[in-house]
Structure 1
């Protein structure tokens, strides 16, 4: 499964945000270094800023630069003229969206879509398609759309309002696979019910070719499937790093967020400072022997850092192992004295705790 990063386009649509062209360009270059194969930073028809972003990046990245466009000639022209590698056009496909958003019949939508795809090709562009509200669209109607655009390499199904869970995503894709080649299928999930990453992983297992992701889930409302969560879950549990430079994942994602001025919590999965910090006496004692005892993965594998904290909560086993690590004979009296010293001087990191033992308890 390949990834399309949509952080910069989705994030820029959040209320109160207005990323600059320079911010977007700097972030794309970081994501490109990370090995993300597709990056969608802009919607050129919205204004000069996004046209500049695409123009400045055109021909300078290994990642394919994807520009979003409605199924309108003026939108497509803006994307092609800016130099986008891929023009991703989108239409609504559910009955509800056709009535209330597009104000068009299904036949009119299909004509609009096929004409847009043809126009992208005529302009020398590479078309991708996103089908809005696809996961609330009847199976037969989805198949009809795929049949209408057989030469489009990727057609992305969007769960536009985050209304689906892994169970329904899996059943939808399994059934679709009977009639459509899933090597053409992409997915785009929103996290309104907290299922964005889980849905992307379900789609991976179903065999889709591509998934949209965003750093720390930045995006409209609750955001999208989190880039860092999808990558780590696939690498750790499924043995597939998705072609990403995993040892740079955490630093790059944090840098993107810092560049955009976006905060993330200390307990944010993968990225938070506290998720690989351990202080419980029982935990730290075990992790001095084998960190995997209480960790799902080595944080260093993704560019993070483990922090063991020693102090008042450190027990006898932890104190003994620290003394042994410092090369000090850990008799009961020394262990008790060192435990008291940790309680008085702590909290201390691992290196600080070992230094304390070396300094005050070595003969």
Structure 2
């Protein structure tokens, strides 16, 4: 995880976390490098914008030299890497190899890449780079997840993500990349926590955000089914309408008793409460349900459906 060192002072974090798990994010500035060292960081990621066709900036070289003298680990994030010709990197390798760089982060700050170009460029870079390669894309065109997965397909082993895709300029949503890596790329290392959805919701909450109900992978309503056709299909074979089981990410399947509900929906909801109703009874209930939904301008709760059933049964 990368954390700007200017933001870390407000947190009380154990030193081992700073040493082992976090990378301090900073510009090529010796003053901030000294501060990061005093705070306990051992790993730094230096954010740098390279001028196409030029040599590496002097302040970057000085900063990397300072990191080396402090015996800290460094990653170099070239934020505008996607603006550079892929062959231009060959001129940078000899200079960069003199410094303690563990990882080169290929940045697409301006969202210039599409999934096809992402694959081609990174596959080419991996042939020549002497460093481990990471990819840090953004989401101006809604392609962050696709670009991240293309980077992985090309052979990159680390991509930048954020829960829900939050952040300036947007990022690839962590939950989408993880599920895509598991189910589409068949990555054996993509281990999905069965509490993924609740965890993502909690993290978003800490940030003062709320995940959309229809958010891919972790939205609470992505396994909500209303229309009679969908409910009938899901009751027989959930895979007809669901790419993966809700339990895999900590969600549950639920039926919506709304204006598009059919008799099957009512029968399934009532059956879950131990009540079997005939097709004829379900048709009669459906007329009342649709009228009530229109009156209250929202779907009925399971409890409301049960009340309607009990009221009709006593007539």
Higher relative contact order (CA 8 A, sep 6+): 1
Q: Distance in 2 between matches of 1:345 and 1:216?
A: 36
TM-score when normalising by structure 2: 0.83
Residue of structure 2 in register with 1:51 after alignment: 9
Q: Does 1:143 align with 2:90?
A: yes
TM-fit CA distance, 1:155: 0.7
Q: Does 1:86 align with 2:43?
A: yes
Residue of structure 2 in register with 1:35 after alignment: none
Residue of structure 2 in register with 1:213 after alignment: 161
What SS does the aligned partner of 1:107 have? coil
Q: Does 1:167 align with 2:116?
A: yes
TM-score when normalising by structure 1: 0.73
Residue of structure 2 in register with 1:16 after alignment: none
Q: Distance in 2 between matches of 1:91 and 1:128?
A: 11
TM-fit CA distance, 1:199: 0.6
1:231-246 equivalences in 2 (<5 Å): 231-240=178-187, 242=189, 245-246=192-193
Q: Which has the larger radius of gyration?
A: 2
1:1-363 equivalences in 2 (<5 Å): 39-42=1-4, 44=5, 46=6, 49-53=7-11, 56-60=13-17, 64-95=21-52, 106-109=54-57, 111-150=58-97, 152-180=101-129, 184-220=132-168, 222-240=169-187, 242=189, 245-321=192-268, 331-340=278-287, 342-343=289-290, 347-348=299-300
What SS does the aligned partner of 1:164 have? coil
What SS does the aligned partner of 1:170 have? helix
Q: Distance in 1 between matches of 2:273 and 2:69?
A: 71
TM-fit CA distance, 1:353: 5.7
- Please report the RMSD computed on the Cα atoms of aligned residues, expressed in angstroms: 3.1
Q: How many residue pairs end up in the alignment? A: 307
Q: Distance in 2 between matches of 1:61 and 1:91?
A: 22
Q: Distance in 1 between matches of 2:185 and 2:200?
A: 21
8 A Cα contact 1:156 1:185, kept in partner: yes
What SS does the aligned partner of 1:223 have? coil
Q: Is there any run of 5+ residues in structure 1 with no aligned partner, and where?
A: 1-38, 96-104
